[in-house]
């Protein structure tokens, strides 16, 4: 292992509550409940692709840009002020840095969400590379593109990378890139935890397990 690549939401950041509320409020304003398969469907998509999917799937009258702006307005304040890292994440990142291991972030989220958290938590400078939902020509996490891009930016071959992920689609995609993948427990995925563990090369319930 020469590099570690982290997902952000639900993996190192305790942030899934933000999007659960955004989803509930978004559909409630349109007289709907959040569809049962909605979170699974968009969990690996970029911000833009998630908006396109939502508009087309549910016949939302607003434009894709307006949908993104609505989501952004309701989520950004939480990320800037309230979203925190999961327990022991900092400790692990410090240890990786001490060992000379490169550190990357591969997330479908946009920089305006994750950067404020990393800055506020004092760990942004520890990351050597970022690949995110704003990167052009990168498909969603149903495909390994974003992990491969992060590895490329880390100047590390995929088979020398370890990935930490909390969703099964991301786990399978990173494994298909030849990377070792460790599943990270998040309460939002509690009902699928056994399936998630089975798909990964290993698992942790939090970063104190390492």
Mean pLDDT by 10 residues, the chain (210 residues): 97 93 94 92 87 95 94 91 96 97 95 96 97 87 95 98 96 98 95 96 95
Asked if 140 and 49 count as a contact pair (C-beta separation under 8 A), the reply is yes
Tell me which long-range contacts 186-189 makes (C-beta under 8 A, separation of at least 24): 186/10, 186/11, 186/16, 187/16, 188/10, 188/16, 188/17, 188/20, 188/39, 189/10
Asked if 168 and 199 count as a contact pair (C-beta separation under 8 A), the reply is yes
Which H or E run contains 184? strand 180-184
**Residue-range domains of the chain with CATH:** 1-210 (3.40.50.1000)
pLDDT, residue 203, reads: 98
Residue listed under structure tokens 């989501």: 71
Cα 65 to Cα 184: distance, rounded to the nearest angstrom? 32
Cα 95 to Cα 141: distance, rounded to the nearest angstrom? 28
What is the token pair recorded at 36? 């049962």
Cα 150 to Cα 152: distance, rounded to the nearest angstrom? 5
Cα 107 to Cα 49: distance, rounded to the nearest angstrom? 14
pLDDT, residue 147, reads: 97
Residue 94, φ and ψ in degrees, nearest 5 = -60, -40
Cα 109 to Cα 140: distance, rounded to the nearest angstrom? 11
Q: What contacts 207, CB < 8 A, 6 or more positions away?
A: 12, 86, 87, 88, 89, 91, 92, 184
Residue listed under structure tokens 């410090």: 94
pLDDT, residue 140, reads: 87
pTM of the model: 0.89
């Amino acid at each position: 292992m020469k590099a570690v690549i982290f997902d952000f939401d639900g993996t190192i950041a305790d942030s899934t509550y933000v999007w659960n509320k955004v989803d509930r409020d978004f559909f409630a304003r349109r007289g709907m409940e959040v569809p049962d398969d909605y979170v699974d469907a968009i969990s690996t998509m970029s911000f833009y692709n998630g908006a396109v999917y939502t508009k087309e799937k549910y016949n939302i009258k607003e434009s894709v840009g307006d949908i993104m702006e609505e989501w952004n307005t309701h989520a950004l304040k939480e990320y800037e002020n309230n979203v925190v890292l999961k327990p022991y994440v900092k400790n692990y990142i410090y240890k990786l840095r001490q060992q000379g291991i490169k550190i990357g972030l591969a997330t479908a989220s946009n920089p305006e969400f994750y950067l404020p958290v990393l800055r506020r938590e004092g760990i942004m400078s520890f990351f050597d590379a970022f690949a995110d939902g704003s990167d052009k020509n990168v498909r969603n996490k149903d495909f390994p593109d974003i992990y491969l891009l992060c590895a490329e930016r880390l100047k590390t071959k995929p088979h020398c990378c370890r990935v930490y992920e909390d969703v099964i689609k991301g786990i399978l995609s990173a494994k298909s890139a030849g990377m070792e993948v460790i599943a990270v427990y998040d309460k939002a995925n509690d009902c699928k935890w056994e399936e998630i563990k089975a798909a990964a090369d290993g698992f942790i319930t939090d970063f104190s397990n390492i």
